[in-house]
Amino acid sequence: MALEVTDANFEELVNAGKPMVLDFWAEWCGPCRMVSPIIDELATEYEGKVTIGKMDVDNNNDVVAQFGIRNIPTVLFFKDGKLVDKQVGAAQKSAFVAKIDALL
């Protein structure tokens, strides 16, 4: 299961030393519901290697604004605390796996 990431814990998690994958989503977003099970699967598969989390855009304005998130789902990929890649819109699991493997 993916971690719940918030404005309050984002900095701590992104700078924790592991690569991080962050899914920006909302309850009312249909494509987000398609991506959500993939993100949860990846969280299990990469446990201990990559921090994988979800951030509700309706409840976390600071980080959403910081990265200019305008479309959801948007998945950001961080390495060493820095944004290195992103996926905007729904995608196949293989696309996420390729981007995660590039972080490792």
Q: Which of 14, 29, 75, 103 is catalytic?
A: 29
29 is catalytic: yes
Of 2, 14, 22, 32, the active-site residue reads: 32
Whether residue 77 contacts residue 70, with contact meaning beta carbons closer than 8 Å, is answered with no
Q: Is the dihedral of CA 51, 56, 62, 66 positive or negative?
A: positive
Q: Catalytic site residue 32? A: yes
The DSSP bridge pattern shows strands 20-25 and 51-56 to be: parallel
Residue among 70, 31, 102, 29 at smallest CA distance from 21: 102
Report yes or no: 74 and 63 within 8 Å, Cβ to Cβ: no
> What amino acid positions are annotated as catalytic residues?
29, 32
